[in-house]
């Protein structure tokens, strides 16, 4: 492989995992879903190794060392998973989640967050909100895959003492910010968060890391 081809290929992967780690685009969720839902922390570690690998000679000992680290982090398995889920001949289903808890934002109400848990993906909810208010722009600030969105929703109501609207959302003031998100992860949904297939203890995000999620962006459909 030519060095230029090597750098180009590694650069593509680096950007992909940076997107998942930071949930910094509306397509992060779809991408993450096709990779098997790596955690933000895991995606960030892979991104850092890929960034380093892009600057190395393909056949160098240091490149071999970094490739070994990426192998330990399940990167080959994630890429194979991506290949299978995007195959036209025999696509693997990616609907591995029952629901999502999310924190959304709108440029129309910068002083408010929309918080909820629903059957479906954050981007599906964003699409509904965008259709309801043409010209508005909504996005995903944070999102967590949960195995029981109904239970998570009931705990959100219990935690904040407010009702949900027809879409399963409630408004929280931006001034509540990170403390509100910490209440979600530590009280309302922590026990129902689903770990990704590639979840590794070595890079498992702490509750504080999850609370400051976004990576999100997302983030979200997908994977």
Q: How many residues comprise the chain?
A: 223
Domain check: are 104 and 184 in the same one?
A: yes
Strand order across the 99-106 sheet? 138-146, 99-106, 112-118, 169-173
Do residues 42 and 112 both lie within one domain? no
Q: DSSP code of 142?
A: E
Same domain, 103 and 81: no
Are both 71 and 126 inside the same structural domain?
A: no
Within a domain: 174: yes
At 190-217, the pLDDT tens digits run 888 888 788 655 444 444 444 444 433 3
184 occurs within a structural domain: yes
Helical axes 40-54 vs 61-72, angle rounded to 10°: 170
Q: Is residue 213 part of a domain?
A: no
139 in the same domain as 176:
yes
* Residue 28 pLDDT > 80: no
| Judgement on whether residues 80 and 119 belong to the same structural domain of the protein | no
Kindly state whether residue 220 falls inside one of the protein's structural domains.
Answer: no
pLDDT value, residue 62: 95
117: domain range?
99-193
What is the structure's pLDDT at 200? 56
Q: Is pLDDT above 90 for 64?
A: yes
Q: How much is the pLDDT for 24?
A: 64
Query: pTM score, two decimals?
Result: 0.64
- Domain presence at residue 207: no
188 & 104 share domain:
yes
Q: Per-residue confidence at 25, pLDDT binned at 50, 70, 90?
A: low
Residues 6+ apart with CB under 8 A from 203: 39, 41, 42, 44, 45, 73
Higher-confidence position of 95 and 28: 28
Same domain (yes/no): 123, 161: yes
The pLDDT value given to residue 52: 93
If asked whether residues 119 and 70 sit together in one domain, one would say no
Residue where one domain finishes, among candidates 85, 116, 138: 85
Rounded to whole angstroms, how far apart are CA atoms 177 and 196?
26
Residue where a domain terminates, one of 18, 50, 85: 85
pLDDT at 217 (0 to 100): 34
- Residue 125, domain member (yes or no): yes
Q: What backbone phi and psi angles, to 5 degrees, belong to 79?
A: -70, -35
Domain match, 11 and 49 both: yes
Number of structural domains in the chain: 2
Of 85, 114, 137, which residue is a domain's last? 85
- Are 103 and 189 within one domain? yes
Strand intervals (E) in 161-203: 169-173
Residues 105 and 214: beta-carbon distance below 8 Å: no
- Tens of pLDDT, residue by residue over 134-166, are 888 888 888 888 988 999 999 999 998 899 998
Question: Cα angle vertex 171, ends 142, 196, to 5°?
Answer: 25
Q: Are residues 131 and 167 in the same domain?
A: yes
User: What is the predicted pLDDT for the residue at 223?
Assistant: 30
Residue found under tokens 């970094």: 66
Q: Is the pLDDT of residue 71 over 90?
A: yes
Placement of tokens 């998570």 in the chain: 152
pLDDT tens-digit map of 124-135: 888 888 888 888
Q: How far apart are CA 147 and CA 101, in angstroms?
A: 10
């Amino acid at each position: 492989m030519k060095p230029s081809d090597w750098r180009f290929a590694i650069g593509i992967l680096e950007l992909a995992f940076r997107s998942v780690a930071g949930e910094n685009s509306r397509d992060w969720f779809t991408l993450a879903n096709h990779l098997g839902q790596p955690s933000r922390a895991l995606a960030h570690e892979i991104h850092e190794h890929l960034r380093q690998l892009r600057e190395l000679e393909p056949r160098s000992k240091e490149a071999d060392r970094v490739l070994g680290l990426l192998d330990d982090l399940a990167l080959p398995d994630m890429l194979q998973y991506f290949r299978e889920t995007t195959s036209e001949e025999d696509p693997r289903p990616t609907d591995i989640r029952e629901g999502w808890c999310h924190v959304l934002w709108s440029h129309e109400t910068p002083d408010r967050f929309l918080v909820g848990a629903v059957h479906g993906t954050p981007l599906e909810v964003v699409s509904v909100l965008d259709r309801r208010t043409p010209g508005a722009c909504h996005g995903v600030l944070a999102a967590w895959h949960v195995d029981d969105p109904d239970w998570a929703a009931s705990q959100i109501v219990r935690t904040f003492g407010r009702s949900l609207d027809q879409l399963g959302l409630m408004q929280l003031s931006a001034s509540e910010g990170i403390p509100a998100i910490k209440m979600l992860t530590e009280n309302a949904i922590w026990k129902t968060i689903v770990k990704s297939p590639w979840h590794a203890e070595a890079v498992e995000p702490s509750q504080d890391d999850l609370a400051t999620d976004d990576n999100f962006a997302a983030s979200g459909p997908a994977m």
